[in-house]
């Protein structure tokens, strides 16, 4: 298993951090966990093409976790990732099917573009020259809407999940646990408050990739304190449940702008965890 961090930022614009997205290579498959703004560019910078992605898994549908979804689906299709034998798999909470339909359906936002690409003679010529066949089908990602608690099996991997408190009741929010057949495990918190369900899901994980929106030195309103654990709170939780390696991510611009803050956050997490703590950055790869 290899995790490549493609987007380790927040919704804020940030030159060094795209919004949330992580590529997991497992058993020859390429799974993309979330697809926030800037993630597709990072995917390309990491040496992959959108067409290389087999499966997109969403933790939740906040914009910073799905803003590049349209770009990914379109490029996956336009660059030949979709064939008669292979379509892009998409798994996430509702309303991902509605969103997909509103982007790529007959009346979707891209219907005008897709009509032009599939019907204009010049576009058809380009498609055939690239090895495509006519008539050209539209993008048809295979979308599966799931509830937290879903268990799923792919070729060489298994997914389990749980609900995590974050943006309910407006959005369904999940943490994801991916396990490979050779016994390695990654747990991705998505955006999550501390909760018993996540502790159960992440128990003994080889790598816990946990969002970290808040640091220990800042004061915050009660709601944000409850919903956004600090490095020391996350580290203490990771220690309680026997995680082997903790990676923190989803950083705001202010974290990078304040002198030495990122390092102090890492130290706080490490002091509470007692094990290795990695501060994620875009294009950082971690072997699991
Ligand atoms: Zn969120």
Q: How far is the CA of 167 from the centre of ligand 1 (A)?
A: 7
CA of 10 to the centre of ligand 1 (A): 9
Cα 138 to averaged position of ligand 1 atoms, centre (Å): 30
SS (HEC) of the chain: CEEEEEECCCCCCCCCCCCCEEEEEECCEEEEECCCCCHHHHHHHCCCCHHHCCEEECCCCCHHHCCCHHHHHHHHHHCCCCCCCCCCEEEECCCHHHHHHHHHCCCCCCHHHHHHHHHCHHHHHHHHHCCCCCCCCCCCCEEEECCCCCCEEECCEEEEEEECCCCCCCCCCEEEEEEECCCCEEEECCCCCCCHHHHHHHCCCCEEEEECCCCCCCCCCHHHHHHCCCHHHHHHHHHHCCCCCEEEECCCHHHHHCCCHHHHHHHHHHHHHCCCEEECCCCCEEEC
Q: For 2-287, give the CATH class.
A: alpha beta
Domain ranges of the chain: 2-287
Distance 190 CA to ligand 1 centre (A): 7
pTM: 0.97
pLDDT in tens, the chain (288 residues): 999 999 999 999 999 999 999 999 999 999 999 999 999 999 999 999 999 999 999 999 999 999 999 999 999 999 999 998 999 999 999 999 999 999 999 999 999 999 999 999 999 999 999 888 899 999 999 999 999 999 999 999 999 999 999 999 999 999 999 999 999 999 999 999 999 999 999 999 999 999 999 999 888 999 999 999 999 999 999 999 999 999 999 999 999 999 999 999 999 999 999 999 999 999 999 999
Cα(259) to ligand 1 centroid in Å equals 26
Q: What is the pLDDT of residue 211?
A: 98
How does pLDDT run across 157-178, given as a tens digit for each residue? 999 999 999 999 999 999 999 9
Encode pLDDT of 190-230 as tens digits.
999 999 999 999 999 999 999 999 999 888 999 999 999 99
């Amino acid at each position: 298993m290899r995790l490549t961090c493609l987007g380790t930022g927040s919704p804020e614009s940030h030159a060094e951090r795209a919004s949330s997205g992580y590529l997991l290579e497992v058993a020859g498959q390429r799974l993309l966990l979330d697809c926030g703004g800037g993630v597709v560019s990072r995917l390309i910078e990491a040496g992959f093409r959108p067409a290389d992605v087999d499966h997109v898994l969403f933790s939740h549908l906040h914009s910073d976790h799905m803003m590049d979804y349209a770009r990914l689906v379109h490029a996956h299709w336009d660059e030949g990732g979709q064939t008669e034998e292979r379509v892009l798999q998409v798994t996430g909470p509702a309303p991902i099917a509605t969103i997909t339909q509103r982007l790529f359906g007959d009346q979707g936002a891209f219907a005008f573009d897709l009509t032009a690409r599939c019907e204009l003679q010049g576009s058809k010529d380009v498609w055939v020259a690239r090895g495509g066949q006519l008539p050209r089908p539209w993008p048809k990602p295979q979308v599966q809407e799931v509830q937290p608690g879903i268990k799923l099996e792919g070729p060489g991997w298994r997914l389990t999940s749980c609900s995590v408190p974050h943006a309910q009741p407006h959005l369904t929010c999940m943490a994801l646990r991916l396990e490979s057949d050779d016994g390695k495990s990654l747990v991705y918190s998505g955006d999550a408050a501390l909760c018993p369900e996540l502790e159960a899901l992440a128990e003994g994980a080889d790598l816990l990739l946990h969002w970290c929106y808040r640091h220990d030195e800042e004061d915050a309103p009660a709601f944000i304190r409850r919903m956004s654990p600090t490095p020391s709170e996350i580290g203490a939780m990771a220690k309680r449940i026997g995680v082997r390696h903790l990676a923190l991510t989803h950083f705001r611009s202010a974290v990078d702008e304040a002198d030495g803050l990122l390092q102090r956050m890492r130290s706080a997490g490490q002091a509470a965890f007692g094990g290795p703590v990695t501060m994620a950055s875009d294009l950082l790869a971690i072997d699991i």
